[in-house]
Amino acid sequence: MRVLVAMSGGVDSSVAAALLVSGGHDVVGATMKLWGGPSDTGCCSVADVDDARRVAQQLGIAHHVFNFSEEFERHVVGPYVTDHAAWRTPNPCIECNRHLKFDRLLDRADQLGFDAVATGHHARVTREAGGEWTLRRGADPAKDQSYVLYMLGQAQLARVLLPVGELTKSEVRKRASALGLRTAAKPDSQDVCFISRRGGRQAFLGDRIPMRQARVVDMTGAELGELPALELVTVGQRRGLGSLGPVDENAPGAGRRYVVAVDGPSATVTVGPPAAMMVSEIAVVQAAWVAVCPARGERLTLQMSAHGQPVGAWWSDGVVRVEEPVRRVAPGQSVVLYRDDAVVGGAVVR
């Protein structure tokens, strides 16, 4: 099989390429140039491209760099800024997977005559007896990345390989070490690639959108203080709220306050105790299903973050209902539904 491997310069994609080479496939490595601005995090630096190129040399395969910076700006960076301006909390890594890794790169692979695209994601793709493709959790629970791949449908899964999905992270590093790959001990990328550590989110957004001062109120509407930038506040946030005035020391959860709601038009942030964070249903939009929409009444499990604790849930026409109250999820974030270890689909919180 002729396979185009997305090589980010990390150990997972390096080993993915190595496994395919050892499996006898015709393998070519490709690194996507996505972010053209300054970067000291993520997988978009010059050093990452160089690491990918050198690993390809070690494996004896060709390596290409594809410039998708315009698409990245249009589908990831631009919406990231727009969402913050509209008081939502986006997940740019999910949108990068949706629009770049498993859309634009797949199109390029088709144009170049490749049979499949492979990545270093920790997840698995299997095929059922009836021919249906299934996306499953990776073998390493601590590194499972199926949550960020929930948007993959049958057409994509038929052309996607995830070679490291059957391995734990320690096994990946052992294989890289045994092969002498330069990425064997390289730390995992944890941050948004276009947000630098030096300036952070505040500097990045501050250069692109105006920041408005916000008033902070409690659940009764009483004024507690002010925050300098409404656009940087996230539902569920606890830190960075500053001094919000006196609290009733006898009240449950005294001293702990969380952002319960962000109202853009009035530039108001409402904070409340832990109990105020709990909800029994989550309204969502942009639902995407691996195969078909689940039946109403079918008990599934819901995951609200990449490594969150799954809870029992049911899908019902744009609303996910949970069997026990869960913490609010910030609008713009994604929630994902599972059937055992298989991804059913997911959606963006409204």
Residue with token string 């990068």: 96
Exposure b/e, 314-343, CB count within 10 A at least 16 = b: bbeeeebebeeebebbbbbbbbbbbeebbb
CATH classification at residue 168:
3.40.50.620
Q: How is residue 322 written in tokens?
A: 């949970």
Q: Are residues 253 and 169 in the same domain?
A: no
State the Cα torsion 2-168-309-97 to the nearest 10°.
Answer: -20
Task: Please report the beta strands in the chain, taking only residues with DSSP state E, as ranges in sequence order.
Answer: 2-6, 26-33, 62-67, 116-118, 123-127, 133-137, 160-161, 214-217, 223-227, 258-263, 268-272, 278-289, 300-303, 311-316, 319-327, 334-339, 342-349
Q: How far apart are the first and last CA of the chain?
A: 41
User: Would residue 260 count as lying in a domain?
Assistant: yes
Q: Are residues 228 and 169 in the same domain?
A: no
**Final residue belonging to a domain, choices 222, 249, 272:** 272
Q: Are residues 68 and 172 in the same domain?
A: yes
Range of the domain at 47: 2-121+162-179
Per-position pLDDT tens, the chain of length 350: 999 999 999 999 999 999 999 999 999 999 999 987 755 555 657 889 999 999 999 999 999 999 999 999 999 999 999 999 999 999 999 999 999 999 999 999 999 999 999 999 999 999 999 999 999 999 999 999 999 999 999 999 999 999 999 999 999 999 999 999 999 999 988 778 899 888 899 999 999 999 999 999 999 999 999 999 999 999 999 998 876 655 444 444 456 899 999 999 999 999 999 999 999 999 999 999 999 999 999 999 999 999 999 999 999 999 999 999 999 999 999 999 999 999 999 999 99
For residue 318, is it left (φ>0), alpha (ψ between -120 and 50) or beta?
left
Say how many domains are in the chain: 2
User: Would residue 258 count as lying in a domain?
Assistant: yes
Q: Which residues are catalytic?
A: 96, 193
For residue 115, is it left (φ>0), alpha (ψ between -120 and 50) or beta?
alpha
Q: Are residues 175 and 217 in the same domain?
A: no
CATH classification at residue 217:
2.30.30.280
Amino acid residing at 335: V
Q: Are residues 171 and 45 in the same domain?
A: yes
How many Å is the Cα radius of gyration of the chain?
A: 22
Pairing of strands 319-327, 311-316: antiparallel
Instruction: Say which residues have a Cβ less than 8 Å from residue 265's Cβ, sequence separation at least 6.
Output: none
Q: Reduce the DSSP state of residue 302 to 3 states and report it.
A: strand
User: Would residue 266 count as lying in a domain?
Assistant: yes
pTM: 0.92
**Final residue belonging to a domain, choices 235, 253, 272:** 272
